[in-house]
Each structure stands twice: as C-alpha cells, then as structure tokens.
C-alpha cells in the first residue's frame, strides 16, 4: 500500500463506499418485501407505477417486487404506489411475549448435551443451590451505511460492486441466479459502512442480481433504513438457565447450563452442526473457563422462523452476558469479592487470570469511587483472545450511565497495537449500545422497529472513557475485531448490582 495514499482517502472523504457507486447508464432499485416475516407477495399494480416520472421497470423477485428508476427518490415513490397485497403466512401471530413464553416452556425440557463432566445432577442436590435465568432479544446490525449492491449482468459474466464480508459467497450467489460459473463473476469490493456480520449474508446481493438480470442494465439496489432493520437477519434471541451448588466455603461444586434458541449455522454452514449441536449457540458456555468439577451444558433448539445471522462476536455476545452475570451472582452469594472469586476459579487459566488482574489493577479495583458510582467486572474468551473489562457506572432514575471502562486484552502476539486499541474501543461501543438500547421486538409477525428513533444506538454523550491495556502472551494470534464486545454488558450489569443490589438478567438493561 506504500505510496497509494490510502489514509488520505478517509481523511478527505474520498473513500468510495458501495452506496457511492456510479456507473454509466446505471439505474437505482428499491424492493418491497412482506411486512410479515416469511410472507409472500399476493398482488401489486405495476401499470400504475410505470406512470411515475423516472420509473423504468417493475420487477417481481423472489422476495417480493422491485421498482427500478433513474433515481432513488423516483424508485421510492414508485414503491409507495404499488398497491401491494401480501399473504401473511405462518408467522402472522408471532409476538415477542409469546416467544418468551415458548422459551420458558422449552427450557424446562432436557436439551442436547454439548459438554459434560462429573456427576452434575448428584452434585446439584448437595450444598447451597443457586438458580437464575438470563434472556436477550433479537438484535439488528444497524450498519451506518444501509445495505446496497450494484449488479451488472452481461452474457459473458456478472460484475458486482458491493461492500461485502464474503466475496466468494457473492460469486456463488450470482452464478446460481444467472447460470454462469463462479469464475465469471467479478466482485469489486468497496469500502463498507459497517458490517458486523450482516454483510456476509447474501440476500441483498441475490436481489440485486435478480433485478439486474431482468432489466439487462447495471442496477444499484439500495435498502432504506426501514428496509435495513425490518428485512434483516438478526442476532438470535435466547434464554439461558443456570443452576449451581456451592459448598460451605462458597466454591461452586456443580454448574448446569441450558440455553434455548435458534441455529445460525444450520443455514449458514450446515456441516458445522454436529451431534445436534450448533457450536455458535453454546460457545462461551460449553467451554466456560472456571474450575468447577461437575459441569453440564445443554442446548435446546427452537426455530421461531425469524432469520438469524452472525452478529459481532456471534454466540459470545449473549452467552458472556449470561455466564458472567451468573458467576457474579455466585460470588455475592458466597460473600466474596467478584474479582477475587473469579481469580480463584481461574487457577488453570493463566491467560484469563493475567487479563483479569491487569484490568482490575488499572481500574483501581477496591479503591473508592465518587458517591453514587460502582464497579463491575467480567472476563471472557472469544476467537482466541482473552478480554477482561471493568465498568464504572451510576444510575439516574431508570437510566444506567457508564462513565469509564478499563479493558485488558491478550490476543497472543501483538502486531499493531493501535489497531488492537481501536478495535477494543469499537467493540465496547457496539456492545454497550446493544446492552443499553438494543432490542428487535415482534408483533403480529412484524418487526416493530424501523429507524433510529425506535432502535437507538449509543450517542456521543453516552460513550464512556475507555482505557485499553495489552497483555501479550506470545500465544497464537487471536482475534481483535469481535472479542471486545462480549464482556461489556455483564461488566455493566454487575456494576449496577454492586451499586443498587438489583440484578439485571435481561437485555437491554433497564432499572
């Protein structure tokens, strides 16, 4: 990259994102999709739309119908006039409260064992027993740049201009639709305005190729913000149940975990689902790091019909919140300091202990804070990296405010410290936004949120001071793009408990 002025592109605002693509003769498309998840197109009035200035084509596609025009505005006006009729389908009565009730019903049933050690059932019957449930909602990715893809289908091949996290899948998607070979599909990868896993999905690419194939011209498909949130693939909603037994000294002798939710891998990579277990559903739970002699982790799969997908840190995002919240409960039940309690249980995890100790030390764990503030701590491994975070919070009415986050990371070998720090800051912001605000809810099979007014993201005045410290261990290179996200929600929730005595077991956090 030497001499290419890559940094200057960003500084000068010259970086080209997918939504910036302009081609000679290019048209712009918007698509209409069923407002009810899984619904099908029944009818539309294409002739009426064609009279709108700028509208060139109305194209029926696999997910609904698209309006193709000379501008985004004209395409949107055309979509508004389509007179759409939909078959609602099987999910027309689906609601978030009903799904939550279904989770409660299913979690009482035995699941498929992901990992087992010792005799958990017998051990749970002795000592002091602690039980808790943790629940999280669906989450959207809410990328700052809405989804878009420019496609040009020609006899000799396909060209795509797209901000994507999966160039290979783009080739296979376009090839399948056009009947061409994958090597006949050229992908121009633009800058992307946030991905977080969403831009690895192929739904928006497939729609663009279908439309471009139908009209024979280059077409840029653009999602509105409402399209982006409602025609989406979401972080799974899950319910996780814990049961533990403590001995006379407060040490956990048994831990049973059962989690209920859908499978990401069953659709994304079916071969990854082995022996009835989706590894992404139990990651961070089945491989929990604490020294507990009797242990059982189970998964109960439930497919509600809502599309689910990879979301920054994948299963770790919800599982770290649940596990680290429950470990904090055990510490308080045992009358122990939450930091010291974790440290004692991580005797066989030197990398985990190192980041835990570093974060606690740099945060001044145990030292006084201003009146009305408290600290919470969490530690978690994901993608080969260990991250510990300490959050300092206050509570104003029903609002949780985070003032400072101290983060320690061991990602193995350190290549670029600035990149690591930037990714930890970014991951904390992303995870904190979800912890304080994020929730996709359903009513009558429809997503209730549509824009940032009802799906808010973290605002500038809500962003805490973040301090990042590196604890290089020389271990194999680990990730940095995702591991900063999982610990922040439990660290904040644990701080709220330390301050108020109220245990928050459901996201988003609310008093």
SS3 377: strand
H or E element, residue 388: strand 385-396
pLDDT (average), residues 237-252: 99
At residue 4 the predicted structure's pLDDT band, cuts being 50, 70 and 90, is very low
In order, the DSSP letters of 115-169 are EEES-HHHHHTSSEEEEEEEEE-BB----SSPPEEEEEEETTEEEEEE--S-HHH
d(CA 391, CA 204): 38
Predicted confidence (pLDDT) at residue 161 exceeds the cutoff of 90? yes
Which tokens in the block code for residue 209?
């190729």
Sheet with 465-470: list strands edge to edge: 374-382, 385-396, 399-410, 465-470
pLDDT at 8: 59
Q: How many residues does the chain have?
A: 511
Question: How distant, in Å, are the alpha carbons of 50, 228, 394 from that of 60?
Answer: 14, 20, 53
Residue 188: phi and psi, rounded to 5, are -95, 110
Query: Pick from 420, 426, 350: which is nearest to 381 by CA?
Result: 350
Predicted confidence (pLDDT) at residue 10 exceeds the cutoff of 80? no
pLDDT (average), residues 287-303: 99
At residue 369 the predicted structure's pLDDT band, cuts being 50, 70 and 90, is very high
pLDDT at 12: 76
pLDDT (average), residues 190-211: 98
d(CA 95, CA 390): 36
d(CA 366, CA 355): 17
H or E element, residue 403: strand 399-410
Percentage above 70 pLDDT, the chain = 98
Percentage above 90 pLDDT, the chain = 95
SS3 412: coil
Compute the CA torsion angle 313, 385, 413, 311 (nearest 10 deg).
0
At residue 21 the predicted structure's pLDDT band, cuts being 50, 70 and 90, is very high
Q: Which residues on adjacent β-strands are paired with residue 465?
A: 404
How many CA atoms does the CB half-sphere of 197 hold within 13 Å?
22
pLDDT (average), residues 496-509: 99
SS3 453: coil
Predicted confidence (pLDDT) at residue 341 exceeds the cutoff of 80? yes
d(CA 237, CA 322): 13
Residue ranges and CATH numbers for the domains of the chain are 14-88+165-222 (3.90.1170), 97-139+234-500 (3.30.365.10)
At residue 3 the predicted structure's pLDDT band, cuts being 50, 70 and 90, is very low
pLDDT (average), residues 79-91: 97
Q: Which residues on adjacent β-strands are paired with residue 260?
A: 239, 300
Predicted confidence (pLDDT) at residue 5 exceeds the cutoff of 70? no
CB atoms within 10 A of CB 510: 12
H-helix segments, 157-307: 167-178, 203-215, 225-230, 265-268, 279-282
d(CA 427, CA 436): 14
Give the range among 142-151, 157-166, 409-418 with minimum mean pLDDT.
409-418
Would the pTM of this model clear 0.75, i.e. be above it?
A: yes
At residue 9 the predicted structure's pLDDT band, cuts being 50, 70 and 90, is low
pLDDT (average), residues 85-101: 98
At residue 14 the predicted structure's pLDDT band, cuts being 50, 70 and 90, is confident
Predicted confidence (pLDDT) at residue 421 exceeds the cutoff of 70? yes
């Amino acid at each position: 990259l030497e001499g290419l002025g890559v940094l200057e592109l960003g500084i000068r605002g010259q970086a080209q994102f997918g939504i910036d693509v302009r081609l000679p003769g290019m048209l712009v498309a918007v698509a209409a999709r069923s407002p009810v998840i899984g619904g099908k197109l029944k009818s539309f009035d294409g002739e009426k739309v064609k009279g709108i200035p700028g509208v060139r084509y109305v194209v029926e596609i696999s997910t609904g119908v698209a309006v193709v025009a000379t501008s985004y505005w004209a395409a949107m006006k055309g979509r508004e006039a389509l007179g759409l009729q939909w078959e609602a389908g099987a999910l027309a009565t689906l609601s978030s409260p009903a799904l939550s009730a279904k989770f409660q019903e299913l979690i009482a049933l035995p699941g498929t064992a992901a990992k087992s050690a010792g005799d958990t059932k017998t051990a749970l019957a002795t000592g002091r027993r602690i039980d808790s449930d943790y629940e999280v909602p669906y989450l959207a990715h809410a990328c700052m740049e809405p989804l878009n893809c420019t496609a040009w289908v020609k006899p000799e091949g396909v060209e795509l201009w797209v901000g994507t996290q999966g160039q290979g899948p783009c080739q296979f998607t376009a090839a399948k639709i056009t009947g061409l070979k994958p090597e006949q599909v050229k992908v121009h990868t633009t800058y992307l305005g946030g991905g977080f896993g969403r831009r690895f999905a192929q739904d928006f690419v497939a729609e663009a190729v279908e439309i471009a194939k139908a009209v024979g011209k280059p077409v840029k498909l653009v999602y509105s913000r409402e399209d982006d949130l409602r025609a989406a693939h979401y972080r799974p909603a899950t319910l996780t149940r814990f049961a533990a037994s403590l001995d006379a000294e407060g040490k956990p002798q048994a831990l049973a975990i059962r989690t209920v939710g859908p499978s990401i891998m069953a659709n994304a990579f079916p071969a990854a689902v082995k022996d009835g277990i989706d590894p992404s559903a139990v990651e961070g739970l089945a491989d929990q790091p604490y020294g507990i002699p009797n242990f059982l982790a189970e998964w109960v799969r439930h497919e509600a019909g809502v599309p689910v997908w990879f979301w920054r840190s994948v299963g770790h995002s919800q599982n770290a919140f649940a596990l680290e919240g429950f470990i904090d409960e055990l510490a308080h039940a045992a009358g122990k300091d939450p930091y010291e309690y974790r440290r004692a249980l991580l005797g066989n995890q030197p990398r985990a202990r190192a980041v835990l100790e570093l974060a606690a030390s740099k945060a001044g764990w145990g030292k006084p804070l201003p009146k009305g503030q408290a600290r919470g701590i969490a530690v978690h491994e994901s993608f080969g990296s260990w991250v510990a975070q300490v959050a300092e919070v206050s509570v104003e009415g029903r609002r949780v405010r985070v003032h400072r986050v101290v983060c320690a990371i061991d990602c193995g070998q350190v290549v670029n410290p600035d990149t690591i720090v930037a990714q930890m800051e970014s991951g904390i912001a992303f995870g904190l936004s979800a912890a304080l605000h994020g929730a996709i809810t359903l009513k009558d099979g429809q997503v209730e949120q549509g824009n940032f007014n009802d799906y808010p993201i973290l605002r500038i005045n809500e962003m805490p001071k973040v301090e990042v410290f590196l604890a290089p261990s020389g271990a194999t290179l680990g990730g940095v793009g995702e591991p900063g996200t999982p610990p922040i929600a439990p660290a904040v929730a644990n701080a709220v408990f330390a301050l108020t005595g109220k245990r928050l077991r459901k996201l988003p956090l609310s008093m």
